[in-house]
Amino acid sequence: MSYIEEFLKDHRIEEVECLVPDMAGIARGKILPADKFVRGVKRGLRIPEAIFVQTVNGRYPHDSENVIADTMSDVYLEPDPVSIRVVPWYEEPTAQIICDPYYFDGRPVPFASRHLLKRVLALFQAKNWQPIVATELEFYLVDINDDPDYPLQPPIGRSGRRETSRQAYGVDAVNEFDPLFEEVYDFCEAQNIDIDTLTHEAGAAQMEMNFNHQEALAAADQAFLFKRTVREAGLRHKVYATFMAKPMQGEPGSSMHIHQSLTDSQSGRNLFSTTRGSPSKLFLSYIGGLQRHLPSTMPLLAPNVNSYRRLIPHADAPINTHWGFDNRTVGFRVPNSEPEARRVENRVAGADANPYLAVAASLACGYLGMTGRLKPSKPQESSAYRLAHTLPRTLYDALYRFTRTKPLRELLGEEFVTAVATVKNAELDAYQEVISSWEREHLLLNV
C-alpha cells in the first residue's frame, strides 16, 4: 500500500481535495471521494491545461493560443505524497494534497508555478547548493465587504471598537482577535504548517505571521496553504483576511518578506559565511544578482495593478534595490545574525504574490549573481528612501522589463515568460475598462 493510501486509511478520510496553484496562487483542482481519488491516481487525474493561464478575474486571454493548444486539452495531475495533510476545518474527514501537472508524454507543464520553482531548484542542486527559505506574510483583517464600491474598514474586536490608530507590535491589539488566531494556530498545527511568531504590523488590524526556515519548496507549500487557512479562519469569525498588497488607503501595504540562505547540500554548512565567519564571495554575488536582476522579475513579486500602490517612499516598503545590514528601508536587508545563520531578506515581494513564483524569482536572481560572479554596491547605511526610485512603478513597466531580459528568459523558460505576459496583459486590459471613483470625483465636472 502506498504512503497516500496508508494516510487516507489511518485518518479515515472520506474526501480528498486535489490542489494545484494557478499563476495567481489560487488553489484550483478537484474534490473526490477517497476511494475514487485512489483509483484516479492510478489512471491519471485530469484537469484542463487552460487553468494555468486563467486570469485572476477568471477569464482566459483572447490570445491564449500563443501559450496553450486551442483544443483546451487536458493534462494530468501527479499528487505529491509529502504534501498530503488533513483539512482541519471540515466536519467530514477530508485530506488535501498538492499536485503537479504533466502532459501525457511526461513533460511538466512549463507555466505551472510549482514546476517553475522546481526548475530553479534543479539549477542549485546541480551545484550541490541547497537554498533555505523562510517567509513572513503580512495581511489585514477587514469587515466583510459585500459591495466592492465601498472602501474596506477594520473589523470590530473584542473591545467592541475598531482600530483607528497604528498599533505596531501591540500585543493587546492582536488579542482583540484572539479567538480567530487561536483557531489559526490549531489549524496550522493540524496541517504541520511550521509557524513561528505572530505580530501586529503598522496598519489598522494588519498582522504578520512568520514561518520557520526550511527547504524552499516546503516553504512555498506552507505559504500557499497558510493563505487558504487564514481566509477560512476569518470567515468562521465573520471577517475577511486579505493578502492584497494595498487594501486600504492611508495604511501601509502588505509584504511577503523572503529570507534566503544557502547551504552545502552534503555538509549543511552555510555557504554565505566563510570559515572565519565573514560574508563569503558567494553571499556578495548573490546580493549582486538580486540587485541587477530582481527589477526584471517584478511581475512575479508584484503581480497585480494594486501591487505597485505599496511600493512608495516611507510606506514600509522598498523603492529600489539597495542593500544594507539591519536596514529596513532597503530592498535587500541582511539581519543581524550568527555566521551560521547569515541570510538576506528580500523585502520587495508583496503578500499578493504567488509564493512559488516569488521564491523562484528571488532564487533565480541570486543564482545568476553567483554564477556570473556579480558584485553588489556598497551597503546602504542610511535611509534608502533618500535615493532614486528604481523599481518599476506600474505593472506595464514591470512586464516590459520582464519580457526583455535575456538571462531570465533563458533561466525561467520562454514558454513561462510568454504565459505570464499573456495573462498579465489580459488582466491589465480588464482593469483599463473600469472607471474609478477618483476619476468620477475629479474629472467628471472639471475637464
pLDDT digits 0-9 by tens, 252-294:
999 999 999 999 999 999 999 999 999 999 999 999 999 999 9
Instruction: Tell me what percent of the residues of the chain surpass a pLDDT of 70.
Output: 100
Distances (CA, A) of 312 to 292, 317, 392: 20, 7, 11
Please identify which residue in the block is written with the cell numbers 543564482: 367
Q: How far is CA 420 from CA 45, 48, 113, 346, in A?
A: 25, 18, 10, 21
> Is residue 153 pLDDT above 90, yes or no?
yes
Q: What angle do CA 362, 345, 364 make, to 5 degrees?
A: 15
Cell digits of residue 292: 541587477
pLDDT of residue 176: 93
Beta bridge partners of 99: 79
Domains of the chain listed by start with CATH number: 3-106 (3.10.20.70), 121-412 (3.30.590.10)
**Model-level pTM?**
0.96
Range scoring the smallest mean pLDDT among 72-76, 162-166, 282-286: 162-166
Give pLDDT, residue 93. Answer: 97
Q: Which of 75-79, 160-164, 223-227, 247-251 has the lowest mean pLDDT?
A: 160-164
Query: Of residues 66 and 49, which shows the higher confidence score?
Result: 49
Q: In whole angstroms, what is the distance from residue 324 CA to residue 288 CA?
A: 12
Give the per-residue pLDDT at 1. 54
Region 27-53 average pLDDT: 89
Read off the pLDDT of each residue in 62-78 and give the average, rounded to a whole number.
83
Convert the pLDDT of each residue in 200-246 to its tens digit. 999 999 999 999 999 999 999 999 999 999 999 999 999 999 999 99
Using the predicted structure, report yes or no on whether residue 152 has a pLDDT greater than 60.
yes
Cα 217 to Cα 21, 114, 116, 144, 289, distances in angstroms: 13, 8, 11, 33, 21
CB 344 within 8 A of CB 259: yes
Region 387-393 average pLDDT: 96
Q: For 85-97, write each residue's pLDDT tens digit.
A: 999 999 999 999 9
pLDDT: is 293 or 163 the higher one?
Answer: 293
The overall average pLDDT reported for the chain is: 94
Q: Is the dihedral of CA 353, 355, 358, 361 positive or negative?
A: negative
- pLDDT at site 168: 86
Distance in Å from the first CA to the final CA of the chain: 72
- For residue 396, the model assigns a pLDDT of 96
